[in-house]
Structure 1
């Protein structure tokens, strides 16, 4: 039992592997995420079991799963990793060492918000290093919990709340109106006029796809979705070329929107743009600076 291990000393690197296994489910996925070999992961977890003095893993077909004690230690591991991160951030700040913030952002934020935010940060916090990866929100939010990123910019559409995760805080950056984009030659004046149109939407399974289809059904028709693409700029270009209609947020129009005609959707819907951080990063000055810059960048965004 874990309560008999008061004198046990655990290496944080091994606790990190157990934490990753609790999140990702398989040793192969842990190895892939951390750039280890599966055999190295297995060996380190075996050493952690010896340190703990109890079985942390048990066979599950051709895989392994955490025992009750393994799940308990994984929960403690998560807290230990968070504490280590918070202490390192405080010490770096106290010594005025260069800070580094890792971002995962959705494509529209990468184009419309990050450049402006970086400009603001270069003026007010010039020593800050920011690294960015463009990633779908669901993947970014998962990797945030796994400590792959420090901050994630994501969105949620009306009626679709993203999964809430333990140890993750959300900060609302602002709202992004969603409008109906049609080719300049289209005679449509409302959504119901587009029952015969071809549509560009995000792939099946995406929350925004479900939301957009429901808007069409509420208008009395099933959309003819001919173009699946995660890149909303591709949607905009299909519309501009006269091949599709699409429901697009205003952040898409960073480079201008003269090539399409925009119509209001029923109810004037907006999507929420939010930033997610780990609770352990709440007091990290570098993370807070990036949050502030992203908020300012969104408030300053006015599509031309």
Structure 2
């Protein structure tokens, strides 16, 4: 049913006169009568009845007028919520990998709590392959994901991506191996051909990058372990269980060293991903702006 017709009915329940309703809504008495008659046809029951020279609502009309209060309020709230110029308000569901949550999302959560308390962020930790599936299924509103220059993720026309930051990665090895590794090029990787590798367990990008890098150096890597925690990767390296990729700026534990890569380099690219057409929703648009620009909300 058309909400405009509900507005006519609600005003009639309040004013008890079609003439007064017409004056209130800046229209004609004939229009008021026609709209209420059309509403009655939609719902299949009489909504008004004669009352001398005036009309009054039937019991069904009064019940529908009561519903109209809630319906029209909900419609008004929806318009305000979706208006790009409106004050941001609402709950934004964000799924992302732990490093992105720590690096860029938690500062925004703190800022918004102080300056935009009507915007709430629900945080879910997911690896990129999980977060992309969830944003595609509309189970979250925003995914923080990554890929590598050597293993770019497939493009999806149903999703919209914004680039956030880049981080070069290096190979984490026991410190004793750094001297034997050779120069920081494909020769570096080739010198490590006999070493077992540690890759991510819930995302394919890490393993894809390792396999591409090894292929360029002329060998097939032996994947020994899978771990999502960068701290656990270092513990496995220290235990002699393998080598793996770590961010070049990641704090290291004693006994772990990083071998830089330059020819080729391994670079992580982080993205903010939404469903196409969703980025204009005010609270989500605000968070995206903060992620990309780094500006404080005001």
Is the TM value for this pair above 0.5?
Answer: yes
| Count of residue correspondences | 211
Is the 8 Å Cα contact of residues 127 and 203 (structure 2) preserved in structure 1?
no
From the superposition, tell whether residues 218 and 144 of structure 1 become closer, same or farther in structure 2 (CA, over 3 Å).
same
- Tell me whether 1:283 sits opposite 2:280 in the alignment: yes
Quote the offset at 1:88 in angstroms: 6.3
Quote the offset at 1:143 in angstroms: 1.7
Quote the offset at 1:153 in angstroms: 0.6
Please report the RMSD computed on the Cα atoms of aligned residues, expressed in angstroms: 3.2
Which structure 2 segments of 5+ residues have no match?
2-76, 183-187
1:243 alignment counterpart: 241
Quote the offset at 1:224 in angstroms: 2.6
- Tell me whether 1:269 sits opposite 2:266 in the alignment: yes
Give CA deviations for 1:145-189 in whole Å, capped at 9, x if unaligned.
Answer: 222111001112224332333432110011121111112232334
TM-score norm. by structure 1 comes to: 0.59
SS in 2 for 1:212: helix
Is the 8 Å Cα contact of residues 81 and 88 (structure 2) preserved in structure 1?
no
1:230 alignment counterpart: 228
Which of the residues 135, 150, 164 maps onto 2:155? 164
CA distance in 2, matches of 1:239, 1:117: 34
From the superposition, tell whether residues 293 and 257 of structure 1 become closer, same or farther in structure 2 (CA, over 3 Å).
farther
Quote the offset at 1:118 in angstroms: 2.5
Give CA deviations for 1:253-302 in whole Å, capped at 9, x if unaligned.
Answer: 2xx225321111232221211111123322223212222333467xxxxx
Give CA deviations for 1:3-36 in whole Å, capped at 9, x if unaligned.
Answer: xxxx9xxxxxxxxxxxxxxxxxxxxxxxxxxxxx
2:199 alignment counterpart: 201
Which structure 1 segments of 5+ residues have no match?
1-6, 8-84, 298-304
Is the 8 Å Cα contact of residues 171 and 244 (structure 2) preserved in structure 1?
yes
Is the 8 Å Cα contact of residues 92 and 99 (structure 1) preserved in structure 2?
no
Which of the residues 109, 119, 127 maps onto 1:118? 109
User: Greater shift after overlay, 133-142 or 231-240?
Assistant: 231-240
From the superposition, tell whether residues 176 and 124 of structure 1 become closer, same or farther in structure 2 (CA, over 3 Å).
farther
CA distance in 2, matches of 1:273, 1:229: 20
Which of the residues 233, 252, 275 maps onto 1:257? 252
CA distance in 2, matches of 1:222, 1:166: 33
- Tell me whether 1:214 sits opposite 2:209 in the alignment: no
1:90 alignment counterpart: 82
From the superposition, tell whether residues 293 and 239 of structure 1 become closer, same or farther in structure 2 (CA, over 3 Å).
farther
Is the 8 Å Cα contact of residues 117 and 296 (structure 1) preserved in structure 2?
no
